[in-house]
Chain A
Amino acid sequence: EAGVTQFPSHSVIEKGQTVTLRCDPISGHDNLYWYRRVMGKEIKFLLHFVKESKQDESGMPNNRFLAERTGGTYSTLKVQPAELEDSGVYFCASSQDNRAGLTEQFFGPGTRLTVL
């Protein structure tokens, strides 16, 4: 079975440009999460989808970030306009069930974003 996939694996853009990251969760997983790790810091939660609905977007840093999950399958995370502090690794994760502590979140390989 295919795992969580993310595209692109790397992206280098200039400040002010727009970048869109894509995540394809494991087939059948209703829950999709975005996390981010900036250099020297811990991995931090950004938001959570249940199917196509945003369940919790409390971790989104500001309104330059927009996440969508149309149709409840793959998700995109758009950063517009990108700033230097947005550089980091963006991880996507998915899980099948939502019962606390009973389901594993499977992580994708991440997209390494560099803003110059």
Chain B
Amino acid sequence: RKEVEQDPGPFNVPEGATVAFNCTYSNSASQSFFWYRQDCRKEPKLLMSVYSSGNEDGRFTAQLNRASQYISLLIRDSKLSDSATYLCVVNFWSNFGNEKLTFGTGTRLTIIP
């Protein structure tokens, strides 16, 4: 079983629609949670951190359910520029005292005009 599981998609949605991605993680001791965005042949970039209380940044809302080990990302009023691969990322604070990020395979999103 993968440490971080995501639906690879692709998700093809019309511009203006709302789209939701889900992610589950296996390590219950995981401590930090993130959504990264990766454009084609580019590096991953942090989109937002995810907190238990839920957090919102403009059209993006992230939620964390620790009991179910489940993370979600909601994009409202989707734009063409939202087309990218969205990576679910989990951090487990290891005995080495480092931030070793664990990535899902990513969910590819294409916004259709």
Which A residues are within 8 Å of any B CB, using their own CB? Answer: 4, 31, 33, 35, 41-45, 48, 50, 55-56, 58-59, 91, 93, 95, 98, 100-101, 103-105, 107-110
Contact = CB atoms under 8 A, between A and B. Distances in A.
Contact of B4 (A4, A42, A98, A105): A42
Given A42-B106, A100-B93, A101-B91, A108 B99 contact: no
B31 A48 contact: no
A100 B105 contact: no
Nearest to A110: B43
Contacts of B94: 56
Contact of B103 (A33, A44, A95): A44
Contacts of A45: 100-102
Contacts of B2: 42
Interface of B: 2, 4, 31-32, 42-46, 49, 87, 91, 93-94, 96-106
B30 to A, nearest CB: 10
Contacts, number: 67
Q: Which 3 A-B pairs have CB atoms at the shortest separation, nearest pair first? A: A101-B32, A56-B96, A107-B43
B55 to A, nearest CB: 13
Contacts of B43: 4, 91, 107-110
Interface of B (DSSP majority class): strand
Given A48-B98, A55-B96, A55-B98, A100 B103 contact: no
Contacts of B44: 43, 91, 107
Contacts of A91: 43-44
A105 B101 contact: yes
Contacts of A103: 99
A58 B95 CA distance: 11
A105 B99 contact: yes
A35 B2 CA distance: 17
Contacts of B104: 42
